[in-house]
């Protein structure tokens, strides 16, 4: 291993502000900054999105529509035409064929340049015209004499840019940066041993190649980002993220937490009172959690389990273990409805054991809230259940030992950290149990959740029958209403989920109100309930309680019921405008049925015409109920940023790598990360700094 400490790093001539380059004044610097470019080396890491090939002249006879190419020919005929608009048409020919140049805006000089007999070179995209192939507004210039004119030596990079910054300026600046790199550029942060093992080219070679690919470079490989030069950079970027998360994890593991050594008496009684036996997967995951909770360091465990796999019971067992050890637990959910449901479940489970569970919500009455807080502070209450608002304000616990965060897929690493800090008492952190129904492929989890341990509940409770899913056009709404009628008359319960195109919450709720009215008119013998986000918490609560108790037959709802809601007797779900939902959301919604022994169905009602991806989404829902398979298809249709819900949170904000495309790299990235962490702390710092910068480092939130 090379000892970084013994080598004095040479000065890096690209480690200067961009205004060190010719042609960069305050205006250009400001525009570059919009692209995230402030240092000279930032230009080197600002990679082209695509390339143009101006390295050879293409015979006209070999062109195909869609090609972008340089052609050279002699003008046969140039004329101004008045069709719908005035335009200049110029026919050029080489010895293999002829084509037309079409210009809608032109001046006298251009017209003259294209005079009959002139030799011209053009670059543009080819399309099929009326009679011949043509280029609309190509770049062109006249060639003098008969000598062959030189062509470019490398492919032309096209960069992502911003208003007021031309490709040409970006190219010139990048060329200057490449010149400086030749004199000793940004250091190659990957140790040679790692580069060799994973067959990655050196940094300067990769950067030079990507800014100036040689004429023979394979454009298709480059556009799919599979070239070794691109893979090398993606590797380093993914490595940076993983290193940052592993560092964070190490910091967590080093900090202390109370070991929650219970004697099992509460858990045993709880299990005895359950009306069912735990599944093998529930038992295995509970044991994994129990081992973590025994440690004097905070647990950071993510439990993944498909909708309906029974995560709540697993959480309850962890909570009871904390209580057995004399500590309190907090249980958090992302929505009021889900938090309320957890409150009921935990109260039903824990009160018979002589334990007090309190409810905390941002919206509850001051008096009620104060009472709950007092019980938590004195230690009279063992468990607090609430929305995340629970931790937004100062809630004093007597001895908080465990925080359970349900349905965490909506939260990124920053939120996880913030919650962790809030739970800190003195030097001790509570243990964290995070639960999600978003099953993400293993390799993805390895990167996105590299700071967590992951357990998977990969088994559904016995006796579940798969939900039958049908897709129907909303022109058949009457039939669907009749189906709801028949189902509810025979003792089933149903959900009717509404949504609108508009993002507005108010309009969503209004749509649900209207549907509820229509449905109660159409089905006078059914008891129709309504729940949406704008109702008072108390009203929402009582509607949900009525539905659970079977007092309501048909529950009309907005997506407030999307996560977590558990009413096993509900066996029919209608989703209106299903084409507007993403796959993950449809899967979550559908997960509200099929939770009991009854055969369940889900009707995806759409408003046509369907887009291509909407059609694929609905087909996927019909074809599979497996959360992992759905996640895989979702990944294909949407890309990982959205699957992980990271667009909003800024987590894993990747510049070059793409979690889906570069999945094959992830196992190697993980191995390289472990090795670097062990052997080269300096390189770890430098890699994190290069790719994540100061502000984005996870460990320092």
Closer to ligand ADP at the Cβ: 190 or 338?
Answer: 338
Residue nearest ligand ADP by beta-carbon distance: 310
What is the rounded distance in angstroms from the CA atom of residue 298 to the CA atom of residue 364?
A: 31
What is the rounded distance in angstroms from the CA atom of residue 586 to the CA atom of residue 567?
A: 17
Closer to Mg ion at the Cβ: 562 or 576?
Answer: 562
DSSP symbol at 87: E
Segment contacting Mg ion by CB under 5 A, of 194-202, 223-231, 562-570, 665-673: 562-570
What is the rounded distance in angstroms from the CA atom of residue 538 to the CA atom of residue 305?
A: 30
Binding mask 297-326 for Mg ion (x = CB under 5 A): --------------x---------------
Which residues lie near ligand ADP (CB under 6 A)?
A: 276, 278-279, 282, 305, 307-313, 437, 461, 564, 566, 568, 595
CB of 483 to ligand ADP, least distance (A): 24
One DSSP character per residue, 151-200 reads: --SSPEEE----TT--HHHHHHHHHHHHHHHHTT-S---S-HHHHHHTT-
At 386, give phi and psi (nearest 5°): -175, -175
Beta strands 68-82 and 119-128, pairing class: antiparallel
The option from ligand ADP, Mg ion, none interacting with 568 (CB < 5 to 8 A, set by class) reads ligand ADP
What is the rounded distance in angstroms from the CA atom of residue 109 to the CA atom of residue 63?
A: 28
Query: Burial level of 272, CB count in 10 A (0-12/13-18/19+)?
Result: exposed
CB of 126 to ligand ADP, least distance (A): 54
Tell whether residue 334 is a contact of Mg ion (CB under 5 A).
no
Number of shown-chain residues binding Mg ion (CB under 5 A): 2
Q: Between the CA of residue 161 and those of 33, 169, 173, 503, what are the distances in Å? A: 11, 10, 13, 30
Of 452, 504, 453, the closest CA to residue 651 belongs to 452
Residues written for the chain: 701
Closer to Mg ion at the Cβ: 401 or 564?
Answer: 564
Closer to ligand ADP at the Cβ: 445 or 511?
Answer: 445
CB of 360 to Mg ion, least distance (A): 19
CB of 359 to ligand ADP, least distance (A): 18
SS3 labels along 465-480? CCCEEEEEEHHHHHHH
Closer to ligand ADP at the Cβ: 104 or 276?
Answer: 276
CB of 456 to ligand ADP, least distance (A): 12
The option from ligand ADP, Mg ion, none interacting with 595 (CB < 5 to 8 A, set by class) reads ligand ADP
CB of 471 to ligand ADP, least distance (A): 24
Q: Which position has the token pair 């905390």?
A: 360
Closer to ligand ADP at the Cβ: 315 or 614?
Answer: 315
What is the rounded distance in angstroms from the CA atom of residue 676 to the CA atom of residue 697?
A: 17
CB of 581 to ligand ADP, least distance (A): 18
CB of 674 to ligand ADP, least distance (A): 32
Q: Which position has the token pair 């299903």?
A: 578
What is the rounded distance in angstroms from the CA atom of residue 162 to the CA atom of residue 368?
A: 54
The option from Mg ion, ligand ADP, none interacting with 276 (CB < 5 to 8 A, set by class) reads ligand ADP
Q: Which two tokens stand for residue 95?
A: 């010895």
Which of 564, 591, 594, 640 is close enough to bind Mg ion by CB under 5 A? 564
Closer to ligand ADP at the Cβ: 266 or 437?
Answer: 437
CB of 615 to ligand ADP, least distance (A): 28
Closer to ligand ADP at the Cβ: 47 or 307?
Answer: 307
Produce one character per residue of 634-654: b if its CB has 16 or more CB atoms within 10 Å, e if not. Answer: bbebbebbbbbbbeebebbeb
Closer to Mg ion at the Cβ: 140 or 359?
Answer: 359
Residues found near Mg ion in the complex (CB under 5 A):
311, 564
């Amino acid at each position: 291993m090379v000892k970084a400490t013994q080598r004095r790093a040479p000065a890096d001539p690209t480690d200067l502000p961009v205004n060190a380059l010719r042609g960069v004044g305050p205006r250009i610097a400001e525009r570059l900054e919009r692209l995230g470019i402030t240092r000279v080396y930032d230009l080197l890491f600002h990679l082209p999105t695509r390339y143009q090939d101006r390295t050879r002249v293409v015979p006209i006879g070999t062109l195909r529509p869609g090609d972008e190419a340089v052609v050279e020919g002699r003008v046969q005929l140039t004329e101004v035409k008045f069709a719908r608009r005035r335009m200049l048409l110029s026919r050029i020919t080489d010895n293999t064929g002829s084509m037309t140049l079409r210009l809608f805006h032109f001046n006298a000089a251009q017209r003259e340049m294209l005079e009959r007999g002139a030799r011209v070179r053009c670059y543009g995209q080819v399309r099929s015209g009326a009679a011949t192939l043509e280029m609309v507004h190509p770049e062109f210039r006249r060639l003098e004499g008969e000598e062959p004119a030189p062509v470019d030596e490398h492919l032309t990079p096209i960069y992502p840019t911003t208003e007021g910054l031309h490709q040409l300026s970006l190219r010139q600046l990048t060329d200057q940066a490449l010149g400086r790199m030749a004199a000793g550029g940004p250091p190659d942060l990957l140790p040679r041993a790692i580069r060799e093992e994973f067959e990655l080219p050196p940094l300067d070679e990769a950067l030079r190649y990507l800014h100036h690919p040689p004429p023979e470079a394979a454009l298709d490989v480059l556009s799919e980002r599979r070239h070794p030069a691109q893979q090398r950079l993606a590797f380093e970027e993914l490595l940076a993220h993983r290193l940052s998360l592993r560092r964070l994890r190490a910091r967590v593991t080093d900090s202390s937490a109370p070991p929650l050594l219970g004697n099992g008496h509460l858990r045993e009684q709880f299990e005895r009172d359950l009306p069912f036996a735990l599944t093998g997967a529930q038992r295995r995951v509970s044991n994994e959690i129990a081992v973590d909770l025994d440690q004097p360091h905070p647990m950071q465990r993510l439990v993944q389990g498909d909708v309906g796999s029974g995560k709540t019971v697993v959480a309850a067992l962890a909570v009871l273990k904390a209580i057995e050890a004399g500590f309190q637990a907090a249980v958090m959910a992302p929505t009021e409805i889900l938090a309320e449901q957890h409150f009921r479940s935990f109260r039903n489970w824990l009160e018979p054991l002589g334990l007090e569970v309190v409810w905390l919500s941002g919206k509850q009455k001051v008096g009620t809230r104060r009472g709950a807080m007092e019980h938590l502070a004195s230690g009279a209450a063992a468990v607090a259940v609430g929305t995340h608002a629970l931790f937004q304000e100062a809630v004093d616990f007597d001895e908080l030992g465990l925080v359970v965060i349900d349905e965490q897929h909506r939260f990124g690493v920053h939120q996880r950290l913030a919650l962790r800090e809030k739970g800190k008492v003195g030097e001790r952190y509570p243990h964290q149990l995070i639960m999600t129904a978003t099953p993400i492929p293993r390799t993805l989890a390895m990167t996105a959740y590299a700071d967590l341990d992951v357990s998977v509940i990969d088994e559904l409770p016995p006796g579940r029958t798969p939900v039958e899913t049908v897709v129907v056009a909303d022109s058949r709404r009457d039939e669907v209403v009749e189906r709801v009628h028949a189902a509810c008359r025979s003792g089933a319960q149903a959900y009717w989920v509404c949504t609108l195109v508009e993002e507005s919450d108010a309009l969503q709720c209004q749509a649900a109100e209207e549907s509820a009215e229509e449905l109660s008119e159409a089905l006078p013998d059914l008891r129709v309930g309504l729940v949406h986000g704008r109702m008072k918490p108390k009203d929402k609560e009582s509607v949900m309680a009525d539905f659970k108790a079977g007092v309501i037959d048909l529950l009309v709802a907005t997506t407030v019921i999307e996560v977590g809601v558990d009413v096993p007797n509900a066996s029919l779900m209608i989703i209106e405008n299903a084409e507007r939902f993403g796959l993950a959301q449809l899967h979550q919604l559908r997960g509200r049925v099929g939770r009991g022994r009854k055969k369940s169905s889900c009707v995806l009602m759409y408003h046509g015409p369907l887009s291509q991806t909407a059609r694929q989404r609905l087909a996927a829902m019909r074809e599979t109920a497996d959360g992992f398979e759905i996640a895989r298809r979702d990944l294909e249709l949407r890309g990982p940023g959205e699957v992980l819900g990271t667009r909003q949170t800024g987590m894993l904000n990747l510049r070059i790598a793409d979690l889906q495309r570069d999945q094959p790299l992830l196992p190697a990235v993980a191995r390289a990360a472990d090795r670097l962490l062990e052997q080269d702390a300096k390189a770890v710092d430098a890699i994190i700094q290069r790719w994540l910068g100061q502000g984005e480092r996870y460990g320092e939130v």
